[in-house]
Structure 1
Amino acid sequence: MHIAYYISDYGYGHASRSVAIIRRLLKDYHHIKVTVCHSFAFDFLKQSLQDPRVSFRNVKTDIGYIIDADTLEIDRVQLKTELAAQQMNWPMMTHLENLFLQDQMVELVLSDISALGIEAAKQTGINSIGISNFLWTDVYQSLVTESTYTHLSEAYEKMSYYISLEGNIKTISHQSEPDIPFFSRDIDWNEVERIRTELIKDDKILVFYGLGMKINHDLLVHQLKLFQSEDCTFIVSSHVNYESENVYRIPNDYLETQHFVAASDLVITKPGWSTVSEAIQGESRLLLLQRESFLEDATTIRLLKEQKECQTLSFSQLKGLILNNESISSIQKEIQFREKSNGLDCLMNRLDKFLVSD
């Protein structure tokens, strides 16, 4: 069976959880091959999925969010402009995908959560399955006028099946089953211990700081007091250009960053589904950035707060935050860990009826 896997172009979160799913698909179903359709994290995907049954197609799959560098909120004016241009080009974009699906004899489309592949699957006459905690139309509702994204709404209605992930924004009529629990790429606990042994000196607290690949950290990090926290050692992504004795940058060629999240005592991040999943699986406490214009963020935060699995802070609080042993101890006492579960098992059970060989 040939599967085309469409992955949203917004950041690395959709890509990293799709890596977890594709790896499991290849492990459990020897008769399938996968073509990954994506552009933003293209190199990351190619390096993470080195299997002869996986091929790659560099195609822009969607817009996602447009972020204002000064506020970290959504730039609604630019988003509206981008969506209007996409809507104008939509017939040609979906036609090209239809030709690709037919030419490559694709039998199933999986999408997280690009509407492009879903629309093309309908035109081709094959099944499409959405896998996500939200649809882009869900989060656009409060940001731009509905007429700007009708092409996406119409495409999503053509999904054959929708698998909702934990924290799902419940606005889609396809949903009838429970959400899939948080999951991540596999965690190697020997690697986690190696990282902790290497980085923890003088009993300092290990803190992961990461707000995503779409954030302009060159502007932001110099506004923060955070790295003045003498009781902490900080882990930051490779693209965060900041040098300090207590800051460790993940090497650029290190792909399995879930190990650094799991190694950390505290994770400061936006409420992206994949990083939250890695922290939960790695039993790292979550301090989440709360932003007003992100419905996806608010839904995830509400879920985690109800279960006492995170604490939050505003952008202004983040800029003035300095941590010490006392404040971290307080955060640790307030946050609870959940029982271990494997959402990938649940996900594979849902997909199985579409993937079994004849």
Structure 2
Amino acid sequence: MNIAFFITNHGFGHLMRNMPVIIEILGSGHDHLVVVAANPHISLAKEYFRYEKIDDSKIEYVPFDTDMGWILESGSLKVDVPELEKAVSKYTTEWPERVEWAKKLFAEKDIDRVVVDIVPWALTAAKEAGIKSFLMASFTWLEQYQPYLSEDILAKYRKAYKDADKVLMYKLHDEMIPELYAERIDVGICARTMHPEQVEEIKRKAGMPIVFMSIGGSNDGIKGEIEVGNLPYIFITTPGLKLVGKNVWNLPKEINNTQDFIGAADYCISKAGWTTVAEMLAAGKPMALLKRPDVIEDTQYIKRLEDSGNAIGIYTSELSHIESVIEKLKVVKNKKNIYKNDYIAIAEIISRKL
């Protein structure tokens, strides 16, 4: 069986949540996998497979700028609505051409199955080619864009997502529009597994409590410096946050094992991206999640995790008093293992014979 994965280029979390599934499918002996993603995502995927010592010789990488995502105001996590509308309008006019390109790819690579992480037009291409498709989603752009874009644009997304044959809905998913999904399969979370030796080595090097911080890869960071040098913690941060102090470890953008740093952390402070949240849940970490009231995805995740006692929600302005955030986290008792890491079951569903 030959399987094509189309992965959105919105941040890197969507790619990383597909990695455990792809590795599981590779191990089950399928003939050929094709991964269609943007160049930075392909580079990161290759690095991740090398890090995990996975033979990816059965994977063909096809670089393609797959998706649009959010347009944010510079130096903030706030949606730039006029620029978003302009960019998405242009993007949707390209869909017919993209669909034809994908159909040719399916024919050339003899594709039997298409797995789509929220790239809408790839589902239409699979339907028109008569190939079974799976939409893997914790949200879709339809409900994310609904408060901002015209019905003319939203109708294109609605039609494309309806073209999915099956929808695999992750835990904590958005309240998606139910009529879109004729055949829905609820699954757990999908997270990369941690490496116990690396986790212990990170703890040993730190020698004091660790705070892991991330704002994801779908933005250009938050303005302003945050002084933490006088606090009794090691702060491990991904790009986009400007923490100041000798106790700060800045991870490079191309880091491929952030799950190990999450596993080593005592506390986590993060944008509420689904993949990072899933990895923090899998590790059982107390988490403070950054509120973005204009992003439905984040708002819903934070509300559910606050209600279950797994997290607290904070605003970016509270980062200037980060010691107060950590004090609040000391009373959060994350309920480890209440969300199943379902990557094996997901791989089996995708690979199942018709």
TM-score in same-fold range (> 0.5): yes
- Structure-2 residue corresponding to 1:282: 283
Alpha carbons of structure 1 residues 307 and 242: separation in structure 2 relative to 1, 3 Å? closer
Deviation at 1:38? Answer: 0.7
Aligned AA (2:74):
A
1:155 aligns to 2:153 (yes or no): no
97-106 or 230-239, which deviates more: 230-239
Confirm or deny: 8 A CA contact 1:208 1:260 kept in the other structure.
yes
- Structure-2 residue corresponding to 1:172: 178
Q: What RMSD over aligned residues (CA atoms) do the two structures have, in Å?
A: 2.1
- Structure-1 residue corresponding to 2:226: 224
- Structure-1 residue corresponding to 2:271: 270
What is the alpha-carbon distance in structure 1 between the residues aligned to residue 276 and residue 230 of structure 2? 23
What is the alpha-carbon distance in structure 2 between the residues aligned to residue 251 and residue 120 of structure 1? 36
Alpha carbons of structure 1 residues 102 and 54: separation in structure 2 relative to 1, 3 Å? same
Aligned AA (1:214):
S
Q: Which secondary structure does the structure 2 equivalent of 1:322 belong to?
A: helix
State the Cα deviation string for residues 220-261 of structure 1 (Å, max 9, x = none). 2x3434x34512211012576766311112256541211011
- Structure-1 residue corresponding to 2:198: 191
Alpha carbons of structure 1 residues 111 and 194: separation in structure 2 relative to 1, 3 Å? same
What is the alpha-carbon distance in structure 1 between the residues aligned to residue 104 and residue 190 of structure 2? 34
Alpha carbons of structure 1 residues 265 and 20: separation in structure 2 relative to 1, 3 Å? same
Confirm or deny: 8 A CA contact 2:284 2:334 kept in the other structure.
no
What is the alpha-carbon distance in structure 1 between the residues aligned to residue 17 and residue 31 of structure 2? 19
Confirm or deny: 8 A CA contact 1:33 1:53 kept in the other structure.
yes
- Structure-1 residue corresponding to 2:333: 335
Q: Which secondary structure does the structure 2 equivalent of 1:224 belong to?
A: strand
Confirm or deny: 8 A CA contact 1:231 1:323 kept in the other structure.
no
State the Cα deviation string for residues 143-188 of structure 1 (Å, max 9, x = none). 2112123322211111010000011123233266563222311111
Deviation at 1:311? Answer: 0.6
Aligned-pair identity in percent equals 22
Which of 182, 188, 194 lines up with 2:189 in the alignment?
A: 182
Q: Which secondary structure does the structure 1 equivalent of 2:218 belong to?
A: coil
1:34 aligns to 2:33 (yes or no): yes
Q: Which secondary structure does the structure 2 equivalent of 1:41 belong to?
A: helix
Question: 5+ residue gaps in structure 2?
Answer: 50-54
Confirm or deny: 8 A CA contact 2:76 2:220 kept in the other structure.
no
Deviation at 1:338? Answer: 3.2
Question: 5+ residue gaps in structure 1?
Answer: none
Q: Which secondary structure does the structure 2 equivalent of 1:277 belong to?
A: helix
- TM value normalised by structure 2: 0.90
What is the alpha-carbon distance in structure 1 between the residues aligned to residue 234 and residue 88 of structure 2? 41
What is the alpha-carbon distance in structure 1 between the residues aligned to residue 351 and residue 110 of structure 2? 20
Q: Which secondary structure does the structure 2 equivalent of 1:334 belong to?
A: coil
